[in-house]
Amino acid sequence: MKGGINLEFKASIMDAQAISRAVTRLSHEIIERNKGIEDVVIVGIRSRGEPLARRIAKKIEAIEGANVRTGALDITKYRDDLKSDHQSPLGQWEQKASMDQTQTASDISFEITGLNVVLVDDVIYTGRTVRAALDALMDFGRPKTIQLAVLVDRGHRELPIRADYVGKNVPTSSREIVKVRLTEKDEKDEVIIYEK
């Protein structure tokens, strides 16, 4: 039982090694697409995009031997959607309000105008989180480009948004939920599919 609904374990689709390899590949792709890392900054969407962004930045630093600035974006107040695992619209809004109080704020301690910002998240599904992140980011400045890196693309987009860098494409049904677990927040690194 999780968040008020029953979730049934279906499969573990990435272990720590697979996640690590995906982070390495994403890092190389970001360097290649940007022809280096000058003017590239990495911004993770809270919550699990944040540690992923730090992992990617660390890997890029190891490959390129240069510093990469990272930040974290809290998109809570920019959301347009309601969580689908809630029973009533009122319950959904109550949860949103409580999230607003508990989530930490964005942390971007540098000017993003004119830079290439790589937004990072763990999963892309409908695209609504990324849409909110674009709005949140624009409040910090006007980047030259905004690119998107995700560990898992599970399909089912509801908006015209796509990722530039994808760790793993995972075809899913809408009855399934993809959960990314990262040691910075969880007991281990793993990507699991559950069924509702």
Ligand X SMILES: O=P(O)(O)OC[C@H]1O[C@H](OP(=O)(O)OP(=O)(O)O)[C@H](O)[C@@H]1O
Which residues are at the interface with ligand X (CB under 6 A)?
Answer: 45, 47-48, 121-129
The tokens of 26 are what? 């994403």
Binding partner of residue 121 among ligand URA, ligand X, none, CB cut-off 5 to 8 Å per kind: ligand X
- State how far the Cα of 120 lies from the Cα of 45, in Å rounded to an integer: 6
Per CB under 6 A, does 137 bind ligand URA?
no
With contacts defined by CB under 6 A, how many residues of the chain interact with ligand URA? 5
The strand pairing partners of 107, in sequence order, are: 72
The strand pairing partners of 169, in sequence order, are: 153
Per CB under 6 A, does 132 bind ligand URA?
no
Which is nearer to ligand URA, 78 or 112 (by Cβ)? 78
Cα angle 31, 57, 172 (rounded to 5 degrees) comes to 85
* Nearest residue to 172 via CA among 189, 152, 187: 152
- State how far the Cα of 95 lies from the Cα of 99, in Å rounded to an integer: 6
Per CB under 6 A, does 154 bind ligand URA?
yes
Residue whose pair of structure tokens reads 């319950």 in the numeric block: 91
Mask for 92-131, x = binds ligand URA (CB under 6 A): -------------------------------x-x------
Which is nearer to ligand X, 37 or 180 (by Cβ)? 180
Residue numbers at the binding site for ligand URA (CB under 6 A): 123, 125, 154, 177-178
